Amino acid sequence: MNEERFDELMRDAAQTFRSPPEADFDGMWAEIDRRTNVGADAPVRTRAFSSRAAWMALAATLVIGVALGRASMMIGRHAAPQVAPAVVARAQTAQRADSNTSLANNPYEAETSRYLGQTAALLIALPSEAKNGRANEQFVGRAGDLLTTTRLLLDSPASDDPNMRNLLEDLELVLAQVVRLPNTHNRTELELINRALEQRDVIPRLRTAVSDNSAN
Amino acid sequence: MSEPDLIARVLAGDRIAARDLYDAHSPRVFRLAFRLTGDHALAREFTQDTFVRAFGQLAKFRGDSALSTWLHRITVTVVANAMRKVKRFRERETDLEDVHPIGSDSPGVDPVLRERLHRAIVDLPEIYRITVIMHDLEGYTHTEIAEVLGVAEGTCKSRLSQARAQLRTALADLAPEYDT
């Protein structure tokens, strides 16, 4: 009897003695994350490598594109005597126009098209990839690569068009937020990204740009 | 994903795996830290310290015991070491009501008796208090407590028995039938 009553009192204590309150686990994690260096090296190395790879790829694309453009012009000049003079004149006129516009711009256009498609895919996948305010390393790595490309394109003739420039600037902002996601683990951060996407109408503009670029 | 895989990923530098590991274990670590300290801010601080230390020493975790046991051992060590310092600052200033707020009341228990028991638990020697809190309040088994505290299971049972005897004695004047 005594033992039973004592056990009853202890069971009551299990409910009432220092009954644990609600805890801010996200806040605690933010502090732990700040104080530890779990993975501090790996993702940075990955992103740094990817950034270099993106730079190299874009630079290579531009160099090859310009070289092809020049080579086309030279081939055009050498090939002209074998064709009727009228055709040569028309071809040369067209070729000059092409080489001044599309051939010179093709490297940017091709790169821009590829970039826009990849960015659209990434941002559309964002809500499912970044559940609970977190995104996996690979996803964030891709966002980092696209952020680098965005900045390169902002400094290139691809951003001569004001609409494209505005879109690239908005994408730079959003991608920079996505890249920060693994460090914050914060739902608020994801909400801010979604709000930025909505307020700036980014996805519809991106889709329009993708289809416009494909048409070109 | 299995726990060994998760640990391997954390050791390889995967922050997401580190967060998953934290999500899986932090509620119980915080709960234990709060039961041992009775202070929300301290429990929060000690939970953070536990995981900072755990991630720093994870490479040394050999898997001889469950990860939870290893984490709770760190928690108890962190809390015990820190509370000795905290106590020195707080001695004679402690207001029992502030330090361990009473949770939901259960019917049938005399509030005065309850209050006396709570005070008696707080006043137990540390090794008894930790054992009572872990076994009677948090439901750890003797095996788990023995692993966490690094003592034999028999020692753990003996400590619990001693602790309960001291609690009964503390309640004796209010409820003589408990002191047998």
Is B13 part of the contact surface with chain A (CB cutoff 8 Å)?
yes
**H runs (alpha helix) in A36-160:** 41-79, 85-100, 102-129, 137-154
Instruction: Write the single-letter amino acid at A102.
Output: S
A·B CB contacts under 8 A: 138
With an 8 Å Cβ cutoff, is A9 touching chain B?
yes
- State the average pLDDT over residues A112-132: 76
So what's the pLDDT on residue A205?
84
Q: What ranges make up the beta strands (E) of B1-128?
A: none
What residue has token string 């494209």? A164
Percent of chain A at pLDDT > 70 equals 58
Contacts of A9 in chain B (CB under 8 A): 109, 113-114, 117, 171, 178
pLDDT at A133 over 70: no
d(CA B13, CA A49): 16
Q: In this complex, is the C-beta atom of B34 within 8 Å of any C-beta atom belonging to chain A?
A: yes
In which band, very low, low, confident or very high, does the pLDDT at B78 lie, cut at 50, 70 and 90?
A: very high
Work out the average pLDDT over B42-55: 96
Tally Cβ neighbours within 10 Å of residue A197: 22
pLDDT of A63 reads: 52
Distance in angstroms (rounded) separating the CA atoms of residues B19 and A33: 9
Closest Cβ–Cβ partner in B27, B104, B175 for A16: B104
Nearest CA in chain B to A41: B13
List pLDDT tens digits, range A174-205. Answer: 887 777 776 555 666 777 777 778 777 888 88
pLDDT band at B170; cut points 50, 70, 90: very high
| pLDDT interval class at A105 (50, 70, 90) | low
Closest CA to A132 of A189, A197, A193: A189
Average pLDDT over residues B63-77: 94
Contact A20, B35 (CB under 8 A): yes
Residue B24 has pLDDT above 90, yes or no: yes
Of A83 and B15, the one with more pLDDT: B15
B109 pLDDT higher than 60 = yes
- Residue of A161, A63, A12, A157 whose CA lies nearest to B104: A12
Tell me if B44 and A9 make a contact (CB, 8 A cut-off): no
8 A C-beta contact, residue B157 and residue B118: no
Report yes or no: A16 at the B interface, CB cutoff 8 Å: yes
Choose the closest CB to B44 out of A14, A28, A35. Answer: A28
- Which residue is listed with tokens 């048409």? A215
Residue that wins the pLDDT comparison between B44 and A148? B44
Residue range A10-44, pLDDT digits in tens? 999 999 999 999 999 999 999 999 898 775 544 33
What ipTM did this prediction achieve? 0.85
User: What part of A 72-131 touches B (C-beta under 8 Å)?
Assistant: none
CB neighbour list of residue A199: distance below 8 Å, 6 or more residues apart = none
